[in-house]
């Protein structure tokens, strides 16, 4: 577990908090730590998982020190690891609730799309997929998740238009389900929601989630497989040229 990611257990809920005192960027280490926390939730037989940021920040997305490093291989590996984490959250057999305590951009917003229930905090916060605005195409797997969770009336604006939403308008768009007045209330509400979902029949929940999301999950897997082929080809070409 990294210092940025901490895990606590309470009343059957695994609370995973992200706090790097900065942007809560998703670096390789942070993604690994979240994945380890999910393993722990399964091993410890936790009934549900809550993923929360700190007051004012949920996550600004992938670590820019990697994305802007000029190391294409490292960038591809980071994006693929994020894709695998997104797919795992989207298909996780236990309830996953997101406590969006502040800004959630790019991969941070994608994380919201993967959760079963998304509770945000009201305030002057930015939520959205800003990839196109910063000169990046939305990955195919992320586009599939967006198409599944974002309201059809907002999908083009949210993806092609890179529209950024305030928390309350993010509810209408489909990034959030509801908002609370303050970050602490947001986390408390998320834990309560997780406990409610955990009170449902676990086997029925897992099977229904699998069925409801099966087609979308298959499309996400196919998109990840496509991106992995591209990454493998890049790595092969780089080795042939002696760049790695």
User: What are the phi and psi torsion angles at 26 (to 5°)?
Assistant: -95, 95
Cα–Cα dist 177/194, whole Å: 14
Go through the domains of the chain in sequence order and give each one's CATH number.
5-198 (3.90.226.10)
124 token code pair: 């002057």
Cα–Cα dist 76/168, whole Å: 33
Q: Can you name the residues that pair with 59 across neighbouring β-strands?
A: 104
Cα–Cα dist 198/214, whole Å: 21
Q: What is the pLDDT along the chain (244 residues), one digit of tens a residue?
A: 568 999 999 889 999 999 999 999 999 999 999 999 999 999 877 899 999 999 999 999 999 889 888 888 889 999 999 999 999 999 999 999 999 999 999 999 999 999 999 999 999 999 999 999 999 999 999 999 999 999 999 999 999 999 999 999 999 999 999 999 888 899 999 999 999 999 999 999 999 999 999 999 999 999 999 999 988 887 776 666 766 5
Residue 238: its pLDDT value, please?
A: 64
Q: Three-state SS for 60?
A: coil
**Cα 26 to the center of its chain, rounded Å:** 10
Q: Which of 118, 132, 229, 244 is nearest to 174 (CA)?
A: 118
Q: Is the pTM of this model over 0.85?
A: yes
Cα–Cα dist 166/104, whole Å: 10
Q: Please provide the DSSP assignment of 130-147 as one string.
A: -TGGGT-PPPHHHHHHHH
Q: Three-state SS for 156?
A: helix
């Amino acid at each position: 577990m990294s210092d940025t990611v901490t895990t606590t257990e309470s009343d059957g809920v695994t609370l995973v908090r992200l706090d790097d005192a900065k942007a809560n960027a998703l670096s390789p280490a942070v993604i690994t730590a979240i994945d380890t926390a999910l393993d722990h939730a399964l091993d410890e037989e936790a009934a549900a998982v809550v993923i929360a940021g700190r007051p004012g920040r949920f996550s600004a997305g992938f670590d820019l020190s990697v994305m802007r490093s000029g190391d294409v291989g490292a960038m591809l590996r980071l994006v693929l690891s994020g894709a695998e984490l997104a797919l795992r959250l989207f298909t996780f057999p236990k309830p996953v609730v997101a406590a969006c305590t502040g800004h959630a951009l790019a991969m941070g917003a994608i994380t919201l799309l993967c959760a079963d229930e998304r509770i945000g905090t009201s305030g002057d916060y930015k939520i959205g997929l800003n990839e196109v605005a910063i000169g990046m195409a939305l990955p195919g797997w992320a586009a599939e998740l967006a198409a599944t969770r974002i309201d059809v009336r907002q999908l083009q604006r949210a993806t092609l238009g890179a529209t950024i939403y305030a928390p309350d308008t993010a509810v209408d768009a489909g990034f959030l389900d509801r908002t609370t007045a303050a970050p602490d209330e947001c986390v408390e509400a998320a834990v309560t929601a997780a406990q409610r979902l955990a009170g449902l029949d676990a086997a029925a929940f897992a099977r229904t989630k699998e069925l409801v999301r099966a087609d979308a999950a298959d499309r996400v897997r196919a998109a990840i497989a496509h991106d992995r082929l591209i990454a493998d080809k890049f790595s092969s070409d780089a080795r042939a040229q002696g760049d790695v």
